[in-house]
Chains A and B, each alone.
Chain A
Amino acid sequence: EPEVTQTPSHQVTQMGQEVILRCVPISNHLYFYWYRQILGQKVEFLVSFYNNEISEKSEIFDDQFSVERPDGSNFTLKIRSTKLEDSAMYFCASSGEFGYTFGSGTRLTVV
């Protein structure tokens, strides 16, 4: 069964540093997403991406965040100048005709 692959599985970074979280969506899916889950809380939508542009974003997705599809397979989330409160599990997802598939997540720890 096709999978959404996320790397790394765990990243520790110092406050103020930039991080890039990587995802390989399912190849024939058209919509790509990033969600985050702060420890013990619910899953929150960050951004959706369709046809090489952002189609919707939440209020969480401010100028600190950006997304990119640099080639035909990867989908990245960049967080500039990380803050302690950015520590969370970040999930990538993609969707097609038969629904959503989530990756296993990247746990980001900002110290």
Chain B
Amino acid sequence: AQSVTQLGSHVSVSEGALVLLRCNYSSSVPPYLFWYVQYPNQGLQLLLKYTSAATLVKGINGFEAEFKKSETSFHLTKPSAHMSDAAEYFCAVRGDNAGNMLTFGGGTRLMVKP
């Protein structure tokens, strides 16, 4: 079965500081990995996805993530946080299932201090 663990349910950074949101996964087959962002009372917006091409994936709003098979990780980073980045971030994996479903991590709430 596939699973996702996001370390840190809350992360707080200062505006302009590095953002690092951690995601570790398990999957018995090469996974597809996703990061979604959810703003308050809104839906899920895709930030970026890994689909077995380049291991460093660039997404929207200056975010990127690196797939590291040896560490089973797919951490999300952004060099300089902006106040508008404050939101909930979800990592998800699509791996070993016939139904094509995504399994989500518990989410990380990012807070950005001025």
Q: Which residues of A contact B (CB under 8 A)?
A: 31, 33, 35, 41-45, 48, 50, 55-57, 91, 93, 95, 99-105
Contacts and interface: CB of A to CB of B under 8 A. Distances in A.
Contacts of A31: 99-100
Counting contact residues on chain B (CB < 8 A from A), the size range is 20 to 34
Contact residues of A: prevailing secondary structure: strand
A76 B40 CA distance: 25
A100 B46 contact: yes
Interface string B40-59: 00111110010100000000
Contacts of B45: 102
Nearest to B97: A56
A104 B43 contact: yes
B105 A45 contact: no
